[in-house]
């Protein structure tokens, strides 16, 4: 197990380098000059000012040289300066990481609290009206885009009922009640779309386990049905569910870009949108690097949890 973890950790730098190289090259292939985005105008610009800015941001160097300089700065904890605000990017990341983390954890919590119980109930009541209802809801959750669901929730709970605010953010570490009010709608919009996949995987996994011999033996011994489901079925059916939850992290990070923009949440997703619209290369590179590291770390954590849940799993 230790050797497997060390091998996985050793592979992570290569993946990070490949992702950042692709992003770095693609952004520099986009049409337009980022200097004009920095200046904020496109005509009657002092050429000496343009030349000074290109020299300051290293835009005169070849793309491979720019990438090597950026990697060297990152290894020293320097993510550069924003091309828009001209302020250090590192403090901005530190301020926005807790915001996106709060939204992501709340969204996954919504997906788990809805998806696992509903999928389990659908499997236990197979071919019943409950199973049909859960299947329909799961397919709707998978098919409906998060931005459309966001607009629907805003219309219902903000415009029509006036129960919740449409925009803003409050940290759970500062005011839990205010954080609940501001986080509920965006977390529901993102979590409900994820819950559909969790329902489907949970239902399929539970159905497979229900047909195993040890489940029939437990029932033959006279164990209560609730005990059979909790002690035998759920524990052995969670491995595929853990897999989909680990993969859903990428969907959470991608969805945060849309959700944070719609609900005016000052997180990493909104930072990425602002960087893209303003051609702020350094900020976008920092966000992509952080997302890549988080996804790789969660995938490694998922493999470790496998072995903890099922002792039969051993990594050579």
- What one-character-per-residue DSSP string does 46-109 give? -HHHHHHHHHHTTTTS-HHHHHHHHHHHHHTT---B-TTT-SBHHHHHHHHHHHHHHHHHHHHH
Supply the CATH number for residue 235's domain: 1.10.3720.10
CA–CA–CA angle 78, 82, 86 (5° rounding)? 105
Phi, psi dihedral angles at 81 (to 5 degrees):
-115, 145
pTM of this prediction exceeds 0.95 = no
Question: What is the per-residue burial (b if ≥16 Cβ within 10 Å, else e) of 303-315?
Answer: bebbeeeeeeeee
Q: Specify the length of the chain in residues.
A: 316
Q: Is residue 29 part of a domain?
A: no
- Whether 315 has a pLDDT exceeding 60, the answer reads no
Percent helix, strand, coil in the chain, to 5, is 75, 0, 20
Helix (H, G, I), strand (E, B) or coil at 131: helix
* Closest by CA position to 198, among listed 259, 119, 129, 140: 119
Q: Is residue 76 part of a domain?
A: no
Q: Is residue 20 part of a domain?
A: no
- Whether 101 has a pLDDT exceeding 70, the answer reads yes
Q: Is residue 263 part of a domain?
A: yes
**Domain tally, the chain:** 1
* Closest by CA position to 315, among listed 298, 299, 303: 303
Q: Is residue 294 part of a domain?
A: yes
pLDDT of residue 205: 86
- Residues 133-177: pLDDT tens digits? 888 888 887 888 888 888 888 888 888 888 888 887 887 887 888
Contact 172, 95 (CB under 8 A): no
Q: Compute the mean pLDDT over every residue in the chain, rounded to the nearest whole number.
A: 80
Contact 163, 157 (CB under 8 A): yes
Q: How far apart are CA 281 and CA 276, in angstroms?
A: 8
Share of the chain above pLDDT 90, in %: 0
Q: How far apart are CA 37 and CA 151, in angstroms?
A: 31
Q: Is residue 27 part of a domain?
A: no
Q: Is residue 82 part of a domain?
A: no
Q: How far apart are CA 66 and CA 61, in angstroms?
A: 6
Domain span holding position 163: 89-309
pLDDT of residue 311: 64
- Residues 16-54: pLDDT tens digits? 888 888 887 877 776 666 666 666 654 556 667 777 777
* Closest by CA position to 190, among listed 114, 286, 136: 114
Share of the chain above pLDDT 70, in %: 89
Q: Is residue 36 part of a domain?
A: no
- Residues 254-303: pLDDT tens digits? 788 888 888 888 888 888 888 887 777 788 888 888 888 888 888 888 77
Contact 265, 259 (CB under 8 A): yes
């Amino acid at each position: 197990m230790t050797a497997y973890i060390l091998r996985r950790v050793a592979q992570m730098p290569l993946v990070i380098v490949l992702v950042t190289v692709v992003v770095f090259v693609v952004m520099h292939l986009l049409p337009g000059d980022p200097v004009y985005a920095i200046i904020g105008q496109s005509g009657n610009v002092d050429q000496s000012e343009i030349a000074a800015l290109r020299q300051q941001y290293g835009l005169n160097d070849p793309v491979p040289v720019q990438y090597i300089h950026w990697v060297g700065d990152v290894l020293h904890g320097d993510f550069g300066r924003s091309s828009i605000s001209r302020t250090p990017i590192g403090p901005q990341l530190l301020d926005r990481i807790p915001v996106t983390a709060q939204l992501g954890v709340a969204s996954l919590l919504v997906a788990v609290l809805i998806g696992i119980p509903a999928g389990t109930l659908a499997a236990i009541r197979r071919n019943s009206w409950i199973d049909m209802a859960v299947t329909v809801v799961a397919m709707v959750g998978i098919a409906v885009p998060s931005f459309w669901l966001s607009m629907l929730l805003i219309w219902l709970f903000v415009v029509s009922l006036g129960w919740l605010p449409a925009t803003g953010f409050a940290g759970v570490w500062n005011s839990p009640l205010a954080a609940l009010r501001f986080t509920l709608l965006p977390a529901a919009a993102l979590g409900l779309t994820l819950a559909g996949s969790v329902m489907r995987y949970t239902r399929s996994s539970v159905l497979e386990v229900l047909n195993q011999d040890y489940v029939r033996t437990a029932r033959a011994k006279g164990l209560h049905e609730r005990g059979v489901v909790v002690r035998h079925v759920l524990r052995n059916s969670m491995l595929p569910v853990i897999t989909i939850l680990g993969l859903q992290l990428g969907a959470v990070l991608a969805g945060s870009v849309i959700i944070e923009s719609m609900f005016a949440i000052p997180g990493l997703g909104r930072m990425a949108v602002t960087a893209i619209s303003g051609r702020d290369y350094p900020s976008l590179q920092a966000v992509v690097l952080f997302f890549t590291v988080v996804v790789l770390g969660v995938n490694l954590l998922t493999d470790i949890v496998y072995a903890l849940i099922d002792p039969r799993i051993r990594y050579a």
